């Protein structure tokens, strides 16, 4: 049986192809640049560009098993010269080959320097029956102003067909691109392999994607055509949504399915069956659940107990995945939920499915949902690829209400989802079968950082004391996962660096210890020892930052402009309650103004300051309850965070009087402080 390259082996190749900057060329003739293109030094359509595509072309002819690509690139700055180093897409040499690489450099004066060099075949990976290669070459005599042109053919064997994936938006601005696809006549003779490993005969040619406004695919007897002009470049920006999911593209599929609904119904059914097989009831599961829960427990109590039990297992996604043979050698089977329970270890997905098995065995309704990880992808149902789904989560029904849980994320609190599994799409089991669904959003109340500081300032500016920080939700998850992955020492180093960046210059923060770091579903506390010098001294005055725990923080955004949507990640709330014992000879001259800022409902900041006797104290609350914003909201968002930063840097000014014996006492206490209470 012949294979359908697209969804089987060729899928990998084309997925790679599509993400790179190659492309098509049918033309036998070379591109003829205009005088204007030869002479241009900047591009008014792409004023920020280091280089632009003047032209790109891809022709896919599946009747003759060949893709041809060409690209014409104008170099506008010295930084753009890197585009002369051409890295062609990775390919499997057993099925594909790249041939007829041609190229040339056209100088601004029209002089042509042909590419006479050698393309190099580079091994990317080889092992386990898989080999991945890539060809690279570099064009000669490249200067600012040069036009680079190259083309090549991707050839594949007669037993493979390969529908194109045209990623229209590229890292460079595209002036014009032509795409043409001639499908195979006999694609119904080819099979593809689905996500669960089943082979199916292709039945339809489908296509879908995101096209520039006003652009349409033309289809006719000679195939499919697409012409696009003036396509903006993809840009990388801080805190952006996964652009690989939202860029403009057109994807073709030789598919066993009639459309998106058919695809997800079929794939969902197969997935659901595999989940249910894995999570099937068994004597091991029954025995386990009888030990974990009591018959008199309420459904919620049962679910919580099971959740806590599976959280204690070794989640090998955070330690090390054991190979099958290693498990065999150790007498471990990992074929179903019962095996995972016995082995006391499993991957995130396996632990989630074990959780579902145990909950079901306890008599509580439970479903699995397979979701996108929001950090890397946005779920798109018209994109017929199971690969866009990353992880399993669980949905349990308690007293008629669905509760979304994330038992596969080690240390995730009960009742919450890791932020990257919140507000994301996927497919879920239902009582009737499966359906596409979206997970609920997370709450800022889940993810909190509460800091309680008790500090003492000496007459000479020496600061000492302790900060206790309680983390919940994703804040605690981050710390616990870093501990699992990097170890305690590195975690302490990273935290120390973070705190030293947040606090004012001169102040030193040392992570003394953590409490509850390895205790699932318990609050995590970090205990910090503070030393060093706080504030500056003008001869009669001492000036200290009002918000000691944020004074060193930099504004969240610095770029003056924004092109792409923003995803701030987890929503959160930070709270500070800080008390500083002052020397007796300090007399307040100025105190920060209380500040109250609001950007959107529930995204707000408030700080209040007080000096009572020789005690300075302040409270600060910052809440970010919405994480995703359009680029148009950027100026307001940037301004809000700048105002927060400005408020955090207000000074507290003291007039320094003569030092008395009484005033010296805190200084001695400060310099003699051995460390935080309870430190070991």
Partner 1 sequence: MTRGWALRCVGLVGLALCSRATLLARVKDAKLPAWVLTAAAEQTGPLPATANAVVLYDSQLLTIAPDGKAEYRERTVVKILRPPGRNDALPIVSYDKDAPLKSFEVWAIGPDGHRFAMQKNQYVDLGDPGGDGVLYADDRYRAANPPGADPGGIVAWEYVQKIPSYEQELTWNFQQDIPVVKSLFRLDLPSGWNYEANWFRHAAIAPMEVGPNEFRWKAEHVPGIDLNRVPLAPAWVALASRMVVHYSAKPIPTSDSALWAQIGQWYDNLAAGQTESGMNIKTAADGLVSPNAEFMTRLKKIAAYMQQKIRYVGIEIGIGGLRPHSAEEVFTNQYGDCKDKATLMISMLDDVGIRSTWVLVDTHRGFVAPDVPSIDGNHMIVAIQLPEGYENPQLQAVVTTESGQRYLIFDPTNEFVPIGLLPNYEQGSWGLLVDGANSQVIHLPVLPPGSDVTEWNAKLQLAADGTLSGTAQVQQAGAGAWSTRYFYAKSTPRQVQDHMNAVLHEDLNEFTLVSDKIENVRQLDKPISISYKLTVPDYAQTAGTLLLVRPRVLGSVEHGLQSKTRKYPISFPAVGTWRDSINIAMPPGYTVDDLPDPVNVDLGFADYSSKVQAEGGVLHYTREYVIKKLALPASDYAKLRSLEETISSDESNTVVLKKE
**Site size with partner 1, rule: CB under 8 A:** 79
DSSP state of 207: E
Rounded to an integer, what distance in angstroms lies between the CA atom of residue 588 and that of residue 142?
Answer: 66
Q: Contact at 8 Å (CB) between 676 and 509? A: no
3-class secondary structure, 147: strand
Q: List, as one string, the DSSP characters of 21-43.
A: S------SSPP---HHHHH-SS-
Say whether residue 126 binds partner 1 (CB under 8 A): yes
- C-beta of 589: minimal distance to partner 1 in Å? 6
Q: Contact at 8 Å (CB) between 194 and 138? A: no
Note the helical H segments in 34-155: 35-39
- C-beta of 230: minimal distance to partner 1 in Å? 18
Say whether residue 5 binds partner 1 (CB under 8 A): no
Say whether residue 136 binds partner 1 (CB under 8 A): yes
Instruction: Tell which positions 195-254 bind partner 1, by CB under 8 A.
Output: 235
Closest residue by Cα to residue 460 from 537, 362, 367: 537
27 or 541: whose CB is closer to partner 1?
Answer: 541
Q: Contact at 8 Å (CB) between 608 and 618? A: yes
Rounded to an integer, what distance in angstroms lies between the CA atom of residue 413 and that of residue 471?
Answer: 12
188 or 537: whose CB is closer to partner 1?
Answer: 537
- In the list 21, 43, 140, 297, the residue contacting partner 1 (rule: CB under 8 A) is 140
Q: In the block, which residue shows the tokens 């595999």?
A: 274
- In the list 123, 227, 630, 669, the residue contacting partner 1 (rule: CB under 8 A) is 123
Rounded to an integer, what distance in angstroms lies between the CA atom of residue 368 and that of residue 270?
Answer: 13
357 or 483: whose CB is closer to partner 1?
Answer: 483
Tell me phi and psi for residue 171, to 5 degrees: -65, -20
206 or 340: whose CB is closer to partner 1?
Answer: 340
64 or 120: whose CB is closer to partner 1?
Answer: 120
- In the list 651, 667, 670, 676, the residue contacting partner 1 (rule: CB under 8 A) is 651
- In the list 110, 114, 433, 487, the residue contacting partner 1 (rule: CB under 8 A) is 487
Say whether residue 610 binds partner 1 (CB under 8 A): no
134 or 428: whose CB is closer to partner 1?
Answer: 134
135 or 192: whose CB is closer to partner 1?
Answer: 135
- CB contact burial 333-365 (16+ within 10 A = b; e otherwise): ebebbbbbbebebbbbbbbbbbbbbbbbbbebe
CB atoms within 10 A of CB 577: 14
Instruction: Tell which positions 320-379 bind partner 1, by CB under 8 A.
Output: 320-326, 328-330
Instruction: Tell which positions 36-65 bind partner 1, by CB under 8 A.
Output: 47-50
Instruction: Tell which positions 302-331 bind partner 1, by CB under 8 A.
Output: 319-326, 328-330
- In the list 84, 161, 364, 564, the residue contacting partner 1 (rule: CB under 8 A) is 84
Say whether residue 77 binds partner 1 (CB under 8 A): yes
140 or 657: whose CB is closer to partner 1?
Answer: 140
Note the helical H segments in 372-437: none
Say whether residue 615 binds partner 1 (CB under 8 A): no
Instruction: Tell which positions 533-592 bind partner 1, by CB under 8 A.
Output: 533, 535-541, 543, 554-555, 558-561, 589-591
Q: Is the dihedral of CA 291, 294, 299, 304 positive or negative?
A: negative
Say whether residue 399 binds partner 1 (CB under 8 A): no
């Amino acid at each position: 049986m012949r294979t359908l390259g697209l969804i089987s082996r060729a899928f990998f190749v084309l997925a790679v192809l599509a993400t790179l900057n190659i492309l098509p060329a049918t033309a036998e003739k070379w591109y003829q640049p205009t005088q204007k293109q030869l002479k241009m030094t900047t591009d008014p359509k792409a004023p920020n560009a280091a280089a632009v595509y003047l032209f790109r072309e891809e022709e896919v002819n599946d009747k003759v098993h060949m893709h041809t690509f060409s690209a014409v690139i104008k170099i506008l700055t010295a930084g753009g010269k890197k585009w002369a180093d051409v890295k062609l897409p990775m390919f499997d040499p057993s099925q594909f080959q790249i041939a007829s690489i041609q190229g040339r450099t056209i100088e601004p004066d029209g002089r042509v320097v042909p590419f006479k060099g050698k393309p190099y075949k580079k091994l990317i990976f080889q092992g386990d029956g898989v080999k991945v290669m890539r060809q690279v070459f570099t064009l000669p005599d490249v200067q600012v102003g040069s036009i680079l042109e190259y083309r090549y053919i991707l050839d594949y064997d007669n037993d493979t067909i390969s529908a194109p994936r045209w990623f229209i938006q590229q890292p460079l601005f595209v002036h014009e691109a032509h795409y043409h696809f001639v499908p195979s006549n006999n694609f119904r003779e080819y099979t593809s392999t689905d996500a669960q490993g089943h082979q199916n005969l292709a039945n339809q040619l489908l296509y879908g994607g995101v096209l520039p406004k006003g652009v349409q695919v033309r289809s006719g007897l000679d195939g499919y055509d697409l012409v696009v002009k003036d396509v903006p470049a993809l840009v990388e920006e801080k805190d952006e949504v996964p652009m690989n999911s939202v860029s403009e593209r057109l994807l073709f599929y030789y598919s066993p399915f009639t459309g998106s609904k058919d695809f997800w119904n079929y794939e969902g059914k197969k997935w659901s069956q595999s989940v249910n097989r894995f999570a099937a009831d068994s004597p091991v599961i029954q025995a386990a659940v009888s030990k974990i829960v009591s018959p008199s427990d309420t459904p919620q109590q049962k679910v919580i107990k099971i959740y806590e039990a599976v959280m204690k297992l070794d989640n090998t996604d955070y330690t090390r995945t054991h190979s099958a043979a290693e498990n065999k050698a150790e007498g471990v089977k990992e074929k179903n939920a019962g095996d995972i329970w016995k082995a006391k270890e499993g991957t995130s997905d396996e632990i989630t499915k074990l959780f579902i098995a145990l909950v079901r065995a306890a008599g509580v309704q439970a479903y699995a949902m397979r979701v996108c990880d929001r950090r890397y992808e946005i779920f798109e149902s018209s994109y017929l690829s199971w690969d866009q789904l990353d992880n399993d989560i669980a949905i349990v029904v308690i007293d008629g209400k669905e509760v979304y849980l994330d038992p596969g994320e080690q240390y995730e609190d009960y009742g919450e989802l890791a932020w990257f599994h919140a507000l994301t799409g996927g497919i879920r089991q239902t009582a009737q079968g499966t359906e596409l669904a979206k997970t609920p959003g997370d709450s800022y109340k889940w993810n909190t950082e509460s800091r309680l500081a008790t500090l003492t300032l000496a007459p000479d500016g020496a600061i000492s004391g302790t900060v206790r920080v309680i983390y919940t939700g994703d804040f605690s998850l981050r710390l616990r996962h870093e501990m699992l992955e990097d170890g305690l020492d590195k975690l302490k180093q990273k935290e120390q660096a973070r705190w030293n960046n947040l606090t004012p210059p001169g102040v030193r923060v040392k992570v003394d210890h953590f409490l509850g770091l390895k205790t699932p579903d318990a609050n995590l506390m970090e205990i910090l020892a503070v030393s060093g010098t706080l504030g500056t001294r003008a001869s009669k005055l001492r000036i200290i930052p009002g918000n000691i725990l944020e004074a060193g923080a930099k504004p969240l955004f610095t770029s003056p402009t924004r092109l792409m949507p923003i995803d701030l990640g987890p929503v959160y709330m930070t709270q500070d309650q800080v008390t500083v014992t002052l020397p007796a000879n300090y007399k307040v001259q100025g105190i920060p103004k209380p500040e109250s800022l609001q950007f959107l409902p529930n995204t707000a900041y408030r700080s209040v300051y007080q000096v009572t006797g020789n005690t300075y104290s302040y409270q600060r609350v910052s809440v970010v309850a919405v994480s995703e914003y359009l680029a148009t909201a950027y100026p307001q968002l940037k301004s809000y965070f700048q105002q927060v930063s400005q408020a955090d840097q207000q000074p507290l000014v003291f007039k320094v009087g003569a030092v008395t014996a009484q005033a010296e006492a805190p200084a001695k206490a400060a310099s003699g402080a051995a460390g935080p209470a309870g430190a070991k």
